[in-house]
């Protein structure tokens, strides 16, 4: 599992951990809004473009955390 997580975009992992923490703290309303904001941020980042390009080129992505 750790190897799979390490291969994911760092920004997405940080945002997911933050959302999970808010849900665990019983703040589901805030977590819901955070999820939408984080999706928009992740969809416009460099790692998203790299993921798409790597998929099209059939290679492993090289995430930078941006």
Instruction: Tell me the whole-structure pTM to 2 decimals.
Output: 0.55
pLDDT confidence of residue 21: 84
Measuring CA to CA, how many Å separate 44 from each of 1, 23, 25, 51, 58? 27, 24, 28, 12, 21
C-alpha to C-alpha distance for 34 and 13, rounded to whole angstroms:
14
The tens digit of pLDDT for each residue in 3-56 reads 888 888 888 888 888 888 877 777 777 777 777 778 887 888 898 899 999 999
pLDDT for 33 equals 74
Question: Which residue in 23, 50, 45, 48 sits closest to 34, CA to CA?
Answer: 23
Please report which confidence band the pLDDT of residue 58 belongs to, taking 50, 70 and 90 as the band edges.
very high
CA pseudo-torsion sign 48, 64, 17, 57: positive
Q: Is the confidence at residue 59, as pLDDT, over 90?
A: yes
């Amino acid at each position: 599992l750790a190897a799979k997580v390490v291969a994911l975009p760092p920004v997405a992992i940080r945002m997911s951990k933050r959302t999970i923490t808010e849900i665990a703290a019983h703040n589901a309303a805030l977590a819901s809004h955070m999820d939408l904001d984080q999706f928009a941020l992740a969809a416009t980042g460099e790692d998203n473009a790299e993921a798409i390009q790597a998929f099209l080129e059939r290679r492993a992505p090289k995430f930078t955390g941006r």
